[in-house]
A and B are shown apart, each in its own frame.
Chain A
Amino acid sequence: GAGVSQSPSNKVTEKGKDVELRCDPISGHTALYWYRQSLGQGLEFLIYFQGNSAPDKSGLPSDRFSAERTGGSVSTLTIQRTQQEDSAVYLCASSPWGQPNQETQYFGPGTRLLVL
Protein backbone atom coordinates (compact mmCIF):
# COMPACT_ATOMS: atom_id res chain seq x y z
CA GLY A 1 0.00 0.00 0.00
CA ALA A 2 0.98 3.63 -0.24
CA GLY A 3 3.37 4.95 2.34
CA VAL A 4 3.87 8.45 3.67
CA SER A 5 4.55 10.93 0.90
CA GLN A 6 6.02 14.40 1.12
CA SER A 7 6.25 17.23 -1.36
CA PRO A 8 8.26 18.84 -2.66
CA SER A 9 11.24 16.52 -2.34
CA ASN A 10 13.58 19.49 -2.63
CA LYS A 11 12.99 23.18 -2.11
CA VAL A 12 15.40 26.04 -2.63
CA THR A 13 14.25 29.44 -1.43
CA GLU A 14 15.64 32.83 -0.67
CA LYS A 15 16.02 34.15 2.82
CA GLY A 16 12.87 35.94 3.92
CA LYS A 17 10.49 33.98 1.72
CA ASP A 18 7.72 31.75 3.05
CA VAL A 19 7.63 28.03 2.28
CA GLU A 20 5.01 25.32 2.62
CA LEU A 21 5.86 21.67 3.03
CA ARG A 22 3.23 19.02 2.51
CA CYS A 23 2.76 15.60 4.06
CA ASP A 24 0.32 12.89 3.03
CA PRO A 25 0.19 10.24 5.76
CA ILE A 26 -0.79 6.63 5.40
CA SER A 27 -4.54 6.46 4.93
CA GLY A 28 -6.36 5.92 8.20
CA HIS A 29 -3.44 6.84 10.44
CA THR A 30 -4.60 8.95 13.37
CA ALA A 31 -1.31 10.55 14.32
CA LEU A 32 1.05 12.65 12.24
CA TYR A 33 4.46 13.98 13.23
CA TRP A 34 6.89 16.53 11.89
CA TYR A 35 10.63 16.35 12.56
CA ARG A 36 13.62 18.34 11.43
CA GLN A 37 16.96 16.72 10.64
CA SER A 38 19.89 19.05 10.28
CA LEU A 39 23.20 17.94 8.81
CA GLY A 40 24.91 15.56 11.20
CA GLN A 41 22.14 15.90 13.76
CA GLY A 42 19.47 13.57 15.01
CA LEU A 43 15.78 14.06 14.57
CA GLU A 44 14.37 17.13 16.24
CA PHE A 45 10.69 16.83 17.10
CA LEU A 46 8.59 19.75 15.88
CA ILE A 47 4.90 18.96 16.30
CA TYR A 48 2.47 16.08 16.61
CA PHE A 49 -1.15 15.85 15.46
CA GLN A 50 -3.86 13.59 16.79
CA GLY A 51 -6.54 13.90 14.16
CA ASN A 52 -6.67 17.59 13.33
CA SER A 53 -5.56 18.86 16.72
CA ALA A 54 -2.00 19.29 17.94
CA PRO A 55 -1.58 18.07 21.54
CA ASP A 56 2.13 18.75 21.41
CA LYS A 57 3.67 21.60 19.46
CA SER A 58 6.48 22.10 21.91
CA GLY A 59 9.19 21.54 19.33
CA LEU A 60 8.33 24.39 16.99
CA PRO A 61 11.49 26.52 17.15
CA SER A 62 9.84 29.93 16.74
CA ASP A 63 6.59 31.62 15.83
CA ARG A 64 7.74 31.59 12.20
CA PHE A 65 6.87 27.88 12.18
CA SER A 66 3.28 26.69 12.03
CA ALA A 67 1.48 23.56 10.94
CA GLU A 68 -2.01 22.43 10.31
CA ARG A 69 -3.78 19.23 9.46
CA THR A 70 -7.10 19.02 7.71
CA GLY A 71 -9.59 16.21 7.36
CA GLY A 72 -7.46 14.06 9.61
CA SER A 73 -5.20 13.55 6.67
CA VAL A 74 -2.91 15.98 4.84
CA SER A 75 -0.68 18.26 6.85
CA THR A 76 1.17 21.40 5.88
CA LEU A 77 4.20 22.81 7.67
CA THR A 78 4.68 26.49 6.95
CA ILE A 79 7.86 28.42 7.61
CA GLN A 80 7.51 32.18 7.32
CA ARG A 81 10.38 34.57 6.62
CA THR A 82 12.83 31.71 6.18
CA GLN A 83 16.31 32.00 7.60
CA GLN A 84 19.47 30.16 6.58
CA GLU A 85 19.39 28.15 9.80
CA ASP A 86 16.07 26.68 8.65
CA SER A 87 17.96 24.68 6.03
CA ALA A 88 17.43 21.03 6.88
CA VAL A 89 15.53 17.92 5.90
CA TYR A 90 11.96 18.02 7.17
CA LEU A 91 10.56 14.58 7.88
CA CYS A 92 6.95 13.60 8.32
CA ALA A 93 5.75 10.39 9.94
CA SER A 94 2.41 8.85 10.77
CA SER A 95 1.19 6.15 13.12
CA PRO A 96 -2.10 4.28 13.39
CA TRP A 97 -3.47 5.01 16.86
CA GLY A 98 -1.96 8.20 18.15
CA GLN A 99 0.10 6.77 20.98
CA PRO A 100 3.39 8.36 20.08
CA ASN A 101 5.37 6.89 22.94
CA GLN A 102 4.90 3.31 21.86
CA GLU A 103 3.74 3.04 18.27
CA THR A 104 5.83 2.38 15.21
CA GLN A 105 6.12 5.54 13.18
CA TYR A 106 6.15 5.33 9.39
CA PHE A 107 8.32 7.97 7.79
CA GLY A 108 8.18 9.77 4.51
CA PRO A 109 11.26 10.44 2.38
CA GLY A 110 11.54 14.02 3.59
CA THR A 111 11.72 17.47 2.04
CA ARG A 112 15.20 18.91 1.74
CA LEU A 113 14.99 22.67 2.29
CA LEU A 114 17.82 24.99 1.36
CA VAL A 115 17.58 28.66 2.26
CA LEU A 116 20.00 30.85 0.35
Chain B
Amino acid sequence: AQSVTQPDIHITVSEGASLELRCNYSYGATPYLFWYVQSPGQGLQLLLKYFSGDTLVQGIKGFEAEFKRSQSSFNLRKPSVHWSDAAEYFCAVGAPIYSSASKIIFGSGTRLSIRP
Protein backbone atom coordinates (compact mmCIF):
# COMPACT_ATOMS: atom_id res chain seq x y z
CA ALA B 1 0.00 0.00 0.00
CA GLN B 2 1.13 3.53 -0.66
CA SER B 3 2.54 5.47 2.27
CA VAL B 4 4.54 8.55 3.12
CA THR B 5 6.90 8.88 6.05
CA GLN B 6 8.29 11.96 7.72
CA PRO B 7 10.80 10.55 10.17
CA ASP B 8 11.38 13.75 12.12
CA ILE B 9 8.56 14.78 14.42
CA HIS B 10 10.20 17.99 15.62
CA ILE B 11 13.26 19.89 14.42
CA THR B 12 14.83 23.01 15.90
CA VAL B 13 17.26 25.11 13.89
CA SER B 14 18.86 28.46 14.49
CA GLU B 15 17.71 31.46 12.52
CA GLY B 16 19.89 31.82 9.46
CA ALA B 17 20.89 28.16 9.45
CA SER B 18 20.09 25.76 6.64
CA LEU B 19 17.18 23.35 6.84
CA GLU B 20 16.37 19.94 5.45
CA LEU B 21 13.12 18.13 6.20
CA ARG B 22 12.93 14.50 5.20
CA CYS B 23 10.16 12.73 3.33
CA ASN B 24 10.14 9.15 2.09
CA TYR B 25 7.38 7.47 0.15
CA SER B 26 6.37 4.01 -0.80
CA TYR B 27 4.74 3.63 -4.18
CA GLY B 28 4.88 1.30 -7.15
CA ALA B 29 5.73 4.17 -9.48
CA THR B 30 6.77 7.77 -9.13
CA PRO B 31 3.84 9.54 -7.51
CA TYR B 32 2.89 13.16 -7.50
CA LEU B 33 4.73 14.79 -4.59
CA PHE B 34 3.77 17.81 -2.53
CA TRP B 35 4.97 19.85 0.42
CA TYR B 36 2.44 21.89 2.42
CA VAL B 37 3.05 24.24 5.33
CA GLN B 38 0.68 24.94 8.21
CA SER B 39 1.61 28.12 10.04
CA PRO B 40 0.16 28.75 13.50
CA GLY B 41 -3.48 29.73 13.24
CA GLN B 42 -3.53 29.39 9.46
CA GLY B 43 -4.67 26.83 6.97
CA LEU B 44 -2.35 24.61 5.00
CA GLN B 45 -0.63 26.23 2.04
CA LEU B 46 1.16 24.56 -0.84
CA LEU B 47 4.92 25.20 -0.88
CA LEU B 48 5.78 23.22 -3.99
CA LYS B 49 4.96 20.11 -5.98
CA TYR B 50 6.67 17.67 -8.31
CA PHE B 51 5.18 15.77 -11.19
CA SER B 52 8.00 15.09 -13.61
CA GLY B 53 11.01 16.68 -15.24
CA ASP B 54 13.70 18.52 -13.34
CA THR B 55 14.16 16.76 -10.02
CA LEU B 56 14.93 20.01 -8.18
CA VAL B 57 11.74 21.94 -7.63
CA GLN B 58 11.54 25.54 -6.52
CA GLY B 59 8.69 26.72 -4.34
CA ILE B 60 7.45 29.74 -2.52
CA LYS B 61 9.16 31.42 0.44
CA GLY B 62 12.62 30.33 -0.75
CA PHE B 63 11.99 26.60 -0.33
CA GLU B 64 13.11 23.89 -2.71
CA ALA B 65 12.79 20.13 -2.78
CA GLU B 66 14.72 17.42 -4.56
CA PHE B 67 13.17 14.22 -5.87
CA LYS B 68 15.49 11.22 -5.64
CA ARG B 69 13.99 8.16 -7.27
CA SER B 70 16.70 5.80 -6.02
CA GLN B 71 15.97 6.79 -2.43
CA SER B 72 12.20 7.26 -2.78
CA SER B 73 12.68 10.63 -1.16
CA PHE B 74 11.46 14.17 -1.63
CA ASN B 75 13.31 16.24 0.95
CA LEU B 76 12.51 19.90 1.54
CA ARG B 77 15.35 22.39 1.90
CA LYS B 78 15.95 26.03 2.61
CA PRO B 79 19.41 27.63 2.67
CA SER B 80 18.68 30.11 5.45
CA VAL B 81 15.61 29.94 7.70
CA HIS B 82 13.75 32.89 9.11
CA TRP B 83 11.78 33.03 12.36
CA SER B 84 8.59 33.17 10.28
CA ASP B 85 9.34 29.68 8.94
CA ALA B 86 8.34 28.17 12.28
CA ALA B 87 5.40 25.95 11.34
CA GLU B 88 4.26 22.38 10.68
CA TYR B 89 5.38 20.92 7.37
CA PHE B 90 3.56 18.10 5.62
CA CYS B 91 4.75 15.95 2.78
CA ALA B 92 2.04 14.37 0.64
CA VAL B 93 1.86 11.91 -2.25
CA GLY B 94 -0.72 11.31 -4.95
CA ALA B 95 -1.18 8.25 -7.14
CA PRO B 96 0.61 8.52 -10.48
CA ILE B 97 -2.52 7.57 -12.38
CA TYR B 98 -5.74 9.43 -11.90
CA SER B 99 -8.84 7.63 -10.74
CA SER B 100 -11.89 8.84 -8.91
CA ALA B 101 -10.45 7.43 -5.70
CA SER B 102 -6.98 8.89 -6.10
CA LYS B 103 -6.80 10.94 -2.96
CA ILE B 104 -3.47 12.25 -1.74
CA ILE B 105 -1.93 10.86 1.40
CA PHE B 106 -0.32 13.15 3.94
CA GLY B 107 2.61 12.37 6.16
CA SER B 108 2.37 12.90 9.89
CA GLY B 109 4.18 16.22 9.69
CA THR B 110 7.37 17.77 11.00
CA ARG B 111 7.17 20.66 13.42
CA LEU B 112 9.88 23.25 12.82
CA SER B 113 11.00 25.55 15.62
CA ILE B 114 13.43 28.40 15.08
CA ARG B 115 16.04 29.27 17.70
CA PRO B 116 16.73 33.04 17.83
Interface residues on B, range: 20 to 34
Provide the A1-44 mask, 1 if CB < 8 A to any CB of B, else 0: 00110000000000000000000000000000101000001110
Number of A residues near B (Cβ < 8 Å) is 26
Contact in complex: B94, A101 (CB < 8 Å)? yes
Contact in complex: B94, A100 (CB < 8 Å)? yes
Contact of A107 among B34, B44, B97, B105 (CB under 8 A): B44
A18 to chain B, nearest CB (A): 25
A6 to chain B, nearest CB (A): 9
Contact in complex: A104, B98 (CB < 8 Å)? no
Contact in complex: B98, A101 (CB < 8 Å)? yes
Contact in complex: A43, B43 (CB < 8 Å)? no
Rounded to whole angstroms, the CA-CA distance of A27 and B102 in the bound complex is 23
| Residue A105 CB within 8 A of the other chain | yes
Residues from chain B with a CB closer than 8 A to the CB of A77 are none
A4 to chain B, nearest CB (A): 7
A35 to chain B, nearest CB (A): 8
| Residue A45 CB within 8 A of the other chain | yes
Rounded to whole angstroms, the CA-CA distance of A91 and B32 in the bound complex is 21
Q: Given that A43-B90, A101-B98, A102-B51 are known contacts, is A109 also in contact with B107, CB under 8 Å in the complex?
A: no
Contact in complex: A42, B107 (CB < 8 Å)? yes
A100 to chain B, nearest CB (A): 5
A42 to chain B, nearest CB (A): 4
| Residue A55 CB within 8 A of the other chain | yes
Contact in complex: A102, B98 (CB < 8 Å)? yes
Rounded to whole angstroms, the CA-CA distance of A99 and B97 in the bound complex is 10
Interface residues of B (CB under 8 A from A): 31-32, 34, 36, 41-46, 49, 51, 90, 94-109
Interface residues of A (CB under 8 A from B): 3-4, 33, 35, 41-43, 45, 48, 50, 55-56, 58-59, 91, 93, 99-102, 104-105, 107-110
What 13 additional pairs, Cβ within 8 angstroms, besides A42-B107, A102-B94, A109-B41?
A: A3-B43, A45-B103, A48-B103, A55-B100, A56-B103, A91-B44, A93-B44, A101-B98, A101-B103, A102-B51, A102-B98, A107-B36, A107-B43
